[in-house]
Structure 1
Amino acid sequence: MRVLVTGGVRSGKSRHATGLLEGRDRVTVVAPGPVADGSDPDWDHRVARHRAHRPTGWDTVETVDLASAIAAAAGPVLVDCLGTWVTAILERAELWDSPVDAAHDVMDQNVAAVRESLREHDDEVVLVTNEVGYGVVPSHRSGGVFRDLLGAVNQGVAEACDEVHLVVCGRVLRL
């Protein structure tokens, strides 16, 4: 089963995604953002806060290479979150100020690799993302690039999933 869980900031989407894998002894949690090296205390705090709400037997992998992390996992996978993944890829590839087409090309390649990993992985995968229509995105150029890319990523990943769950105020709507 492949499930994409989407919703606004603080909607309860991560809690819902964790609940979908409740009862599993081992789950690989992929935190696709900057690798924890002490240089980003906000990221470190976010990962630690999420770890505190998950079973202790679940392993966390911090990486931008989402496709490889899914492929390497033995057992169920929880990816939290595609929004941080898009940001990390844009940052790593220095694409914030590039032509929009260049950013889309890089993300399209990454999404294709993730879709392939989802098809090949023989256990459950739950992916968490922000629904760009429900979040506050700055109106400057970088905000627009992020919104457009995340919307395209969400659509591309959703096509490879069996279900999409929209979470609003902790309530879940299965689409």
Structure 2
Amino acid sequence: MESSRKSQRLFTICILKILFLLVILTPTQLKSEEYMLKEYIPIGVTLQLYNFLQEASLTLPPTPVTIYYTKSLTEFHYLTDMPYNIGGIYENFQIIFQPREILVKKKIFEKVLLHELLHWVLYGLSEKYQEGLIYWYMGYYEKKEVDIFLNKFADFNYELPLFISYYWEK
């Protein structure tokens, strides 16, 4: 019973922290362009993020993330120098997305959002393994990055917390 209450309390705290960090943040300027912070994080993404935190024995990073949705694909490309098939990027506690409406129309909004939030949560993990771990967790097993991750993950008897703590750099 005590464990169940602790788990419920941790879940509530995580949800509140995620909502606070992702919804109430004041947008800043990046490369002299102003972006609007969207207030909407789907509950499904929040729950998946919480589940990952539990499985990985992690907590939310101490540094909040700032999320920006660009107003056009041209603006996204200008700021990120990424091709249009990339929905968003994470760097230094900031996520820049293509316009939300485009991601929703492509039916990839929640996948891209979760993917970039996982980069935020894994901020201290060696970049060499971040992408593979995220693709693996999200079920994209055909990606070459997953093979790189799984080759090392096997050395840890597929124990995610052990793997993460070993390759945590920050």
Fold-level match, TM-score > 0.5? Answer: no
| Larger strand fraction of residues | 1
Query: TM-score per shorter chain, which class?
Result: under 0.3
Q: Larger C-alpha radius of gyration, 1 or 2?
A: 2
TM-score, length-scaled by structure 1: 0.26
Higher relative contact order (CA 8 A, sep 6+): 1
- TM norm structure 2: 0.27
